[in-house]
Amino acid sequence: MNIAVLCSGRGSNFLNLLMDHEKGLITDAEFVVMLTDNKAAGALNVAREFEVPTLVVPRSAYHANREGFERRLLEVLEPYRADLIVLAGFERVLGETFLNAYPQKVINIHPALLPSFPGHRVWQDQLDHGVKLAGATVHFVDVGVDSGPIIIQGVVPVLDADDADTLADRILQVEHWLLPKAVALITAGRVTVSGRKVAIKDIPRKIIEDAAFHTMVWPPLDV
């Protein structure tokens, strides 16, 4: 599978994908290109280090012209023949123009337990709401904002002392684990989508049975 990764910032999720790939944990996959809308993105250094080709399409050149931006993305990505597009901290919402070209082939990592807290910079929103459990979600991308079918989620506790930065750091740890796992499941052909439901094939029955009784309660009950 040819994988294209789209990033806007530092690229730590992209780095974790490449490291898991190097360790052989993501099989039948090649990271063929990293595209960014930000010429100062740290993800460009990550790509250089791992010798992944890069594309820069500055969003600023397209102002209010979202369709023009998406058409340009399609044009520059086309030669790479991507089978999967991974949004790893890509800060633009993609619409029909782009998504119709890659039906059910675009996934995104979001730093909250969707469908709660869609949108940008949601760490403070989670704190302000007073949730006790936060987390991250990998999902297929549809035309809504963070609304597509959910592939995998990870949960972290929210501590009383948290601010947006400490919570973002804790969520990022789970993001770094989740995104490579989701990609590995897809490249191994274990993910199927039916409407909103995503099924993962070949999870051993014993694991499912044990997990069914594994509850995370926070704060802990024995305090």
Beta strands per DSSP E along the chain: 2-7, 30-36, 54-56, 84-87, 106-110, 133-140, 150-157, 191-194, 197-200
Residue selected from 21, 46, 105, 111 as contacting ligand GRF according to rule CB under 6 A: 111
Residue 125 and residue 84: Cα distance in Å, rounded?
30
Shortest distance, position 90 Cβ to ligand GRF, whole Å: 8
Q: Is 118 in the site for ligand GRF (CB under 6 A)?
A: no
Q: Which of residues 155-174 bind ligand GRF (CB under 6 A)?
A: 172
Tell me whether residue 110 is one of the annotated catalytic residues: yes
Residue 131 and residue 37: Cα distance in Å, rounded?
33
Q: Is 146 in the site for ligand GRF (CB under 6 A)?
A: no
**Closer by beta carbon to ligand GRF, 129 or else 201:** 129
Q: Is 151 in the site for ligand GRF (CB under 6 A)?
A: no
- What is the contact mask toward ligand GRF in residues 62 to 91, using x (rule: CB under 6 A)? --------------------------xx--
13-45 as b/e, with b when 16 or more CB fall inside 10 Å? bbbbbbebbeeeebeebebbbbbbbbeebbbbe
Shortest distance, position 202 Cβ to ligand GRF, whole Å: 27
Question: Residue 140 has which token pair?
Answer: 């297929």
Residue 148 and residue 142: Cα distance in Å, rounded?
5
**Total number of residues shown for the chain:** 223
- What is the contact mask toward ligand GRF in residues 25 to 64, using x (rule: CB under 6 A)? ----------------------------------------
CA angle 170, 175, 13 (to 5 degrees): 115
Question: Which member of 21, 63, 110, 129 is catalytic?
Answer: 110
Shortest distance, position 112 Cβ to ligand GRF, whole Å: 9
Q: Is 109 in the site for ligand GRF (CB under 6 A)?
A: yes
Residue 86 and residue 14: Cα distance in Å, rounded?
9
**By the 8 A CB rule, do 90 and 115 touch?**
no
Shortest distance, position 222 Cβ to ligand GRF, whole Å: 32
Report which residue's Cβ sits closest to ligand GRF: 89
Residue selected from 11, 148, 154, 180 as contacting ligand GRF according to rule CB under 6 A: 11
Which chain residues interact with ligand GRF by CB under 6 A? Answer: 7, 9-13, 88-89, 109-111, 172, 175
Please identify every residue annotated as catalytic. Answer: 110
